[in-house]
């Protein structure tokens, strides 16, 4: 239950059409499960959801939505400003318009060599996911990974 409260707090703080409601919370939960199921199938340990990385991912998703531009720009800034102290970082981003599912997002990352590498990196132990919708109704998704200091 604390994760849902934190997620709601992060959403209220980020503003600009950030994820709200049960449907989006369910999508994030499903992306977390799909990510860890994929890691297990590939012989990796599951990642732990981290509050600071979740905050950073949500802020980055909101930033991309505000700019209507998917990019890794500002990636380390959002993580540093969340307070996460790290030795290693990685990030996956995605953007969708129209109908899509959480499974579509994770499976898209699994099919891309760079994103797949991030999903399976044994050195990464924590992660967080954020989503936000732009004025054009396009969704921006950010998945941040880290290894704490």
Report how far residue 139's alpha carbon sits from residue 61's, in angstroms, rounded to the nearest whole number.
9
Q: Which residues of the chain have pLDDT under 50?
A: 1-19
| pLDDT per position as a tens digit, 100-110 | 999 999 999 99
- What was the pLDDT predicted at 21? 62
Mean pLDDT over all residues of the chain? 89
- What was the pLDDT predicted at 9? 43
Q: Give the global pTM.
A: 0.85
Report how far residue 31's alpha carbon sits from residue 130's, in angstroms, rounded to the nearest whole number.
10
- What is the chain's percent helix, strand, coil content, to nearest 5? 50, 20, 25
């Amino acid at each position: 239950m604390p994760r849902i409260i934190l997620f709601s707090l992060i959403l209220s703080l980020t503003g600009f059409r950030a994820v709200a409601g049960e449907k989006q919370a369910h999508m994030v939960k499903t992306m977390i499960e799909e990510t860890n199921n994929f890691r297990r199938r590939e012989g990796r340990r599951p990642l732990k959801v981290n509050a600071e990385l979740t905050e950073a991912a949500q802020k980055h998703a909101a930033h991309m939505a505000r700019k209507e531009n998917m990019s890794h720009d500002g990636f380390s800034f959002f993580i540093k400003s969340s307070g996460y102290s790290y030795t290693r970082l990685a990030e996956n981003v995605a953007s969708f318009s129209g109908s899509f599912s959480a499974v579509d997002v994770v499976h898209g990352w699994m099919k891309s060599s760079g994103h797949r590498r991030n999903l399976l990196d044994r050195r990464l132990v924590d992660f967080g996911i954020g989503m936000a919708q732009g004025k054009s109704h396009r969704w921006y998704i950010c998945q941040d990974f880290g290894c704490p200091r």
